[in-house]
Amino acid sequence: MKGPAIFAAALGVAALAGTAFVEHAIYGSTLSFSFDEADFETSDDLGPEPEIDPYAGWTRPEGPIRIALQAGHWKAAEAPDELERLRANGASAAGVSEWQVNLGIAEETKKLLEAEGFDVEILPTTIPPDYWADVFVSIHADGNKDTAVTGYKAASPRRDRTGRAAELARLLEQEYEKATGLPYEPNVTRNMRGYYAFNWRRYEHALHPMTTAAILETGFLTNPSDRRIIVHDKKKAARGVAAGILEYLKLHGPELD
């Protein structure tokens, strides 16, 4: 096969694996990335609705507010067998892996929230079984073969037992845009809303159903202006994430319930 045919065949194989690779010359070096979609649950099989709601009488554990930030794809190689497919995915571009970007933003966000007096835990790919927090935000970065595609977006779980996750996602978007000036990118896929950590019916390593959760795509690693924020000015990105969480807690801090 000649060049284009080989390229098309390679793309076909990559697409079968749920991943697409593209090469591009940027900053004089090779850019290659994989789409992020493969880390999301793609099945509708969330399990049956229980006949009796086991959380009807649930009350929040006593103690200080707990905030969890997940650095998407961090320590992905350690994912448990039930999430084996997560072990080798995540975007990379311009010499940066997505998990590094996600972890950098998570660490800066943690500092900001701790300065406000909150307890913050950073989680890797593997969620401890039945993990509970007042607020959980999974931090990710996007990729697209079209390097002009730009922007952020957030999503809440398709099935949200807390009734508050959509509001958390909305406040994250509002504050993230204010802090970063990045545009909203409206392509929220059903795979985002079915993120594995949200799927406590299916996976042992998932959030407790009463954890209010959202996932944030902070920008496109494949876009130069997005990289100026999420790679080179991660404090700015973190200010947006922290402000979204703080706005949410103003409305739904435990004392205000």
Q: Does 140 bind Zn ion (CB under 5 A)?
A: yes
To the nearest whole angstrom, how small is the minimum distance from the Cβ of residue 190 to Zn ion? 16
CA dihedral 139, 144, 148, 154 (to 10 degrees): -30
CB 173 within 8 A of CB 244: yes
Q: Does 41 bind Zn ion (CB under 5 A)?
A: no
CA distances from 218 to 43, 71, 82, 233 (A): 24, 12, 27, 12
Find the residue with minimal CB distance to Zn ion. 140
Q: Does 226 bind Zn ion (CB under 5 A)?
A: no
CB 70 within 8 A of CB 197: yes
Residue 61, H or E segment: none
**Which residue, 36 or 173, is less far from Zn ion as judged by CB?**
36
3-state helix, strand, coil in the chain (%, to 5): 35, 20, 40
The distance from CA 245 to its chain's CA centroid, rounded to whole angstroms, is 14
To the nearest whole angstrom, how small is the minimum distance from the Cβ of residue 161 to Zn ion? 24
**Which residue, 140 or 227, is less far from Zn ion as judged by CB?**
140
User: What x/- string results for residues 19 through 38 when contact with Zn ion is judged by CB under 5 A?
Assistant: -----------------x--
- Rounded to 5°, angle at Cα 176 from 217 and 69: 60
Choose one: 46-54, 77-85, 137-145, 159-167; the region binding Zn ion (CB under 5 A).
137-145
**Which residue, 240 or 252, is less far from Zn ion as judged by CB?**
240
User: What x/- string results for residues 49 through 78 when contact with Zn ion is judged by CB under 5 A?
Assistant: -----------------------x------
* Positions that interact with Zn ion (CB under 5 A): 36, 72, 140
